[in-house]
């Protein structure tokens, strides 16, 4: 039996049967042009995810309206359907993955710092947006997608209506109560359902916590989840934060909603604990279940291993596990877990280079990939041999000033090519911890503290994720910077 039985139990969502409970949550790629058409780079990117067999692929946010934007997919006109249809055909012909399209409406934003707000929309604008969601959902269905996902998270129109902080309207769509904040969402879901029919799966993604001052938290979002369940949506995908309100302005640039604290909560960086947002899904799932609804809930946010994903499902904290960056780093993550090779997964290091590329409207790639590549290369399935060290893995480490250690190592060798290196550290003889990974053979440890002895060890990996044996370790003793010998402050070495 597979070691991840919950992950690999199929899941029925309305008319769609997912082969496993792993979802690629939407991730803007900036691979399309500003014309918004599906192009070959987009097809290649999603075909690569599909080759890794993730149960549900949610294709990146695609505009329901014709507003100007940078590179972003569009679904606001029938002319966009054919490109999506071709891509879907190829994915379905080659992979068990099911595919949803995330559809989005966003308000205008200028480099000057001006932003359109929901308060500036009149009733006709609101009705037009609701209609645009309905029409875009129909195009999604007609293009051959297995589901549509309504984007109601982060800094965009739907989320701003839901927001406790940014909905400053004072009418029936306004911030007066949770009911009025939810009216836009409610009418949109009803409209989409009436247009796509009862059998076509509708998912909704929203923020379980806004993660900004005066924003809503779990105490309210559980009612948003309940409303969605009562409206008959087919799955709920939870995100967090990603707001304009705390975004950090850059001179001459349009505000990017993932630069502040709430941006970190949306895409938790390496400094955050794994599964940083799982408690939100657990709270919402428990609440809607208590009310007799079993709408599947997807949790996302720095879930880095299949072991952790399995535990989340096993403990009933969510019904599906979402991954974005872990799958960008290694699209074969699901397949490797299915085949019992989780130790071959190339680990995301959560340094958020991909997020910075998105911010700058550059093609979104991963820092661990080959330079200039637009995808992870397909590995040779016959390749089971890990890289080798010509000299046993010669590692050198130099103590730099102020708590930094520069680690360098010899290049490994592999018949199919070396892909990258994992850096491990043991402190004072304790077990080795994975510090980071690198596509080069250099790394600087920024957290080497005086008064400790560190051992560094490297493993190389190839394109199939096969690991080398451990390199020779290197030890660095870091003396305390000044003898601390006062009566009231003494550090004793163990």
Ligand X SMILES: Cc1cc2nc3c(=O)[nH]c(=O)nc-3n(C[C@H](O)[C@H](O)[C@H](O)COP(=O)(O)O)c2cc1C
Q: Which residues bind ligand SF4 (CB under 6 A)?
A: 325, 328-329, 348-354, 366-368
The residue among 57 and 412 lying less far from ligand X, judged by its C-beta, is 57
The residue among 132 and 299 lying less far from ligand X, judged by its C-beta, is 299
The residue among 37 and 432 lying less far from ligand X, judged by its C-beta, is 37
Q: What are the residue ranges of helices labelled H in 118-235?
A: 123-142, 157-162, 178-196, 218-230
Nearest residue to 78 via CA among 21, 128, 142: 142
Nearest residue to 84 via CA among 16, 22, 148, 14: 148
d(CA 34, CA 50): 25
Residue 26: contacted member of ligand X, ligand SF4, none (CB under 5 to 8 Å, by partner type) = ligand X
d(CA 334, CA 119): 43
The residue among 376 and 418 lying less far from ligand SF4, judged by its C-beta, is 376
CB of 428 to ligand X, least distance (A): 31
CB of 281 to ligand X, least distance (A): 12
The three-class DSSP label of residue 427 is strand
CB of 419 to ligand SF4, least distance (A): 13
Residue 367: contacted member of ligand X, ligand SF4, none (CB under 5 to 8 Å, by partner type) = ligand SF4
The secondary structure element, H or E, covering residue 81 is helix 81-94
Residues at the site binding ligand X, with contacts judged by CB under 6 A: 25-28, 60-61, 102, 151, 153, 205, 239, 266-268, 300-303, 323-326, 354-355, 358, 364
Q: Are 72 and 63 in contact (CB under 8 A)?
A: yes
d(CA 146, CA 453): 54
Exposure class string for 216-251: b at 16+ Cβ within 10 A, else e: bbeebbbbbbbbbbebebbbbbbbbbbbbbbbeeee
Residue 438: contacted member of ligand X, ligand SF4, none (CB under 5 to 8 Å, by partner type) = none
The three-class DSSP label of residue 343 is helix
CB of 415 to ligand SF4, least distance (A): 25
For 162, residues 6+ apart whose C-beta sits below 8 A from its C-beta are 152, 181, 182, 184, 185, 206, 207, 216, 224
The secondary structure element, H or E, covering residue 311 is helix 306-314
Residue 351: contacted member of ligand X, ligand SF4, none (CB under 5 to 8 Å, by partner type) = ligand SF4
Residue 205: contacted member of ligand X, ligand SF4, none (CB under 5 to 8 Å, by partner type) = ligand X
Residue 349: contacted member of ligand SF4, ligand X, none (CB under 5 to 8 Å, by partner type) = ligand SF4
The residue among 206 and 389 lying less far from ligand X, judged by its C-beta, is 206
CB of 345 to ligand SF4, least distance (A): 12
Residue 239: contacted member of ligand SF4, ligand X, none (CB under 5 to 8 Å, by partner type) = ligand X
The residue among 338 and 355 lying less far from ligand X, judged by its C-beta, is 355
Provide the 10 A C-beta neighbour count for residue 85: 16
Residue 323: contacted member of ligand SF4, ligand X, none (CB under 5 to 8 Å, by partner type) = ligand X
The residue among 204 and 458 lying less far from ligand X, judged by its C-beta, is 204
Cα–chain center distance at 113: 27
CB of 435 to ligand SF4, least distance (A): 13
The residue among 23 and 121 lying less far from ligand SF4, judged by its C-beta, is 23
Nearest residue to 225 via CA among 289, 161, 319: 289
CB of 244 to ligand X, least distance (A): 15
The residue among 115 and 363 lying less far from ligand SF4, judged by its C-beta, is 363
CB of 357 to ligand SF4, least distance (A): 8
CB of 49 to ligand SF4, least distance (A): 13
Backbone torsion region of residue 393, taken as left when φ is above 0, otherwise alpha when ψ lies between -120 and 50, otherwise beta: left
């Amino acid at each position: 039996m597979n070691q991840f039985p919950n992950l690999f139990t199929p899941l029925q969502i309305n008319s769609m049967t997912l082969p496993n409970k792993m979802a690629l949550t939407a991730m803007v790629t900036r691979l399309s042009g500003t014309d918004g058409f599906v192009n070959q780079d987009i097809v290649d990117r999603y075909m690569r995810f599909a080759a890794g067999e993730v149960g549900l692929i949610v294709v990146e946010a695609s505009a329901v309206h014709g507003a100007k934007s940078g590179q972003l997919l569009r679904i606001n006109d029938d002319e966009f359907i054919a490109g999506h249809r071709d891509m879907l055909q190829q994915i379905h012909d080659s992979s068990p993955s099911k595919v949803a399209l995330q559809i989005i409406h966003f308000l205008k934003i200028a480099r000057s710092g001006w932003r359109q707000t929901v308060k500036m929309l009149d009733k006709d604008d609101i009705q037009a947006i609701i209609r645009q969601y309905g029409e875009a959902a129909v195009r999604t269905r007609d293009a051959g997608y297995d589901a549509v996902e309504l984007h109601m998270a982060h800094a965009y129109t739907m989320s701003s209506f839901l927001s406790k902080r940014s909905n400053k309207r004072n009418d029936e769509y306004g911030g007066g109560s949770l009911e009025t904040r939810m009216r836009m969402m409610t009418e949109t879901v009803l409209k989409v359902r009436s247009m796509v029919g009862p059998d076509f799966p509708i998912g909704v993604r929203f923020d379980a916590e806004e993660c900004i001052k005066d924003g809503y938290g779990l105490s309210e979002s559980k009612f948003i989840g309940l409303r969605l369940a009562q409206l008959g949506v087919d799955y709920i995908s939870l995100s967090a934060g990603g707001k304009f309100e705390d975004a950090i302005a850059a001179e001459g640039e349009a505000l990017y909603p993932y630069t502040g604290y709430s941006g970190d909560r949306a895409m938790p960086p390496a400094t955050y604990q794994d599964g940083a947002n799982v408690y939100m899904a657990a709270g919402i799932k428990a609440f809607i279940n208590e009310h007799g609804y079993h709408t599947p809930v997807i949790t996302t946010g720095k879930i880095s291993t299949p072991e952790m994903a399995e535990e989340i499902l096993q403990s009933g904290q969510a019904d599906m596990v979402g991954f974005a960056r872990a799958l960008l780093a290694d699209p074969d993550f699901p397949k490797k877990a299915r085949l019992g090779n989780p130790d071959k997964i190339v680990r995301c290091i959560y340094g958020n280079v991909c997020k910075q590329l998105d911010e700058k409207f550059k093609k979104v790639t991963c820092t661990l990939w080959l330079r200039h590549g637009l995808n992870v290369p397909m590995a040779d399935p016959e390749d089971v041999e890990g890289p080798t060290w010509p000299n046993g893995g010669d590692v050198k480490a130099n103590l730099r000033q102020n708590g930094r250690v520069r680690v360098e190592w010899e290049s490994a060798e592999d018949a199919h090519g070396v892909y990258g290196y994992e850096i491990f550290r043991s402190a004072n003889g304790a077990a080795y911890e994975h510090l980071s990974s690198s596509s080069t053979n250099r790394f600087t440890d920024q957290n080497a503290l005086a008064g400790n002895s560190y051992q560094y060890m490297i493993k190389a990996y190839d394109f199939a994720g096969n690991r080398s044996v451990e390199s020779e370790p290197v030890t660095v003793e870091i003396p305390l910077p000044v003898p601390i010998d006062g009566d009231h402050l003494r550090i004793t070495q163990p």
